[in-house]
Amino acid sequence: QVQLVESGGGLVQAGGSLRLSCAASGIILSINSMGWYRQAPGKQRELVAKITSGGTTDYVDSVKGRFTISRDSAKNTVYLQMNSLKPEDTAVYYCNLEGPPYYPSTMSYIAYWGQGTQVTVSS
């Protein structure tokens, strides 16, 4: 079983920065990707950013140019540097790890989730 431990959330003023981290532990045979999702009150959970084992990154349009995802493969840790934060970034941020097996019917890997960390941006 894989466990994900998140840290770095908190309260920040608009225009400020936060750095989230997520460390994976447990039995990890292979990692396809790690990333961050967020869910604001009354909204569906959305992908914020992810990075594959090969280093390819993907971001939701609303954070491009402001957020940067990075990794430390040796530590199975992923980071999310969030700059120029806006009130609309306020949400619970969840760390995600995807790995084998892959299910063709749903075009997805098995996913593991952290407990979430609150990010609040005041105006």
Contact residues for 120 (Cβ-Cβ < 8 A; gap 6+): 10, 11, 12, 90
Distance spanning both ends of the chain, measured CA to CA: 40
In this prediction, residue 28 carries a pLDDT of 83
Q: Which amino acid is at 56?
A: T
Q: What is the mean pLDDT of residues 19-39?
A: 93
Confidence of residue 50 (pLDDT cuts 50, 70, 90): very high
CA–CA separation, 120 and 48 (whole Å): 15
List pLDDT tens digits, range 71-95: 998 889 999 999 999 999 999 999 9
Q: What is the mean pLDDT of residues 52-60?
A: 95
98 close to 78: Cβ distance less than 8 angstroms? no
